Structure 1
Amino acid sequence: MGFKELVKEDQRLVILRSLQEMPGYEANESIIDCCLDAYGHKISRDAVRVHLSWLEEMALISLRELSGCKIATLTGRGEDVSTGQAVVPGVKRPRAQ
């Protein structure tokens, strides 16, 4: 696996873990972008949307749109992946605590 793929997997895990910490397990794409930035992933808003779409396809989040802004909500399966209880290829597995 190449470096780019490792970075993508980590970005997806950061998104899931960030949603896990949010009230109602949801956040808009702007907040998610800020969370990624805080963890050293300075990426475009378009790249954030691509990750959100991919995570929705994997049933790890659900998406809705409000005034042109995507809002992501963590699913039960997404929570399992973010805690390491389930594994999905394409999402970094969290380290043991």
Structure 2
Amino acid sequence: MMRQDIFTKDQRLVILRSLEECGYDANESILNDCLDMYGHDISRDLVRNHLLWLEEQGLITLARLNNNGKDFFVATITQRGLDVAQGRAFVDGVKKPSPKI
């Protein structure tokens, strides 16, 4: 597995787990901050790319909003996304969470 794949999969898992911890939804700015807290200092553009990919997989839904001419996303985790975040389901492209001890 390539190093970049490891980071990509972990970033997607962090997004899903962050949505779970935030009460099931959050905007892209909050998710960017959550990723930063877990050591992923990535661009807002990459966060958006992850969100679009997660939406394509049915793990989240995205609301596309506009505030003063600026577009932004609000992500909501789906039941399938929650199952992946909690390790009850697996999607290739998202890191498997460690078992809870």
Check whether TM > 0.5: yes
With the shorter chain as reference, the TM-score category is over 0.9
Q: After TM superposition, give the deviation of residue 65 of structure 1 in Å.
A: 1.2
Partner of residue 78 from structure 2, selected from 60, 75, 79: 75
Q: Runs of at least 4 residues of structure 1 off by over 4 A?
A: none
| Corresponding residue of 2:58 | 59
Deviations 1:32-88 (A, max 9, x none): 000000000000000000000000000000001111110000000000000000000
Where does the alignment leave 5 or more consecutive residues of structure 1 unmatched?
Answer: none
| Corresponding residue of 1:11 | 11
Where does the alignment leave 5 or more consecutive residues of structure 2 unmatched?
Answer: none
1:26-65 matched pairs, under 5 angstroms: 26-65=25-64
- Alignment size in residue pairs: 96
RMSD between superposed Cα atoms in Å: 0.5
When you count helix as a share of all residues, which structure comes out higher?
1
User: How high is the TM-score relative to the length of structure 2?
Assistant: 0.94
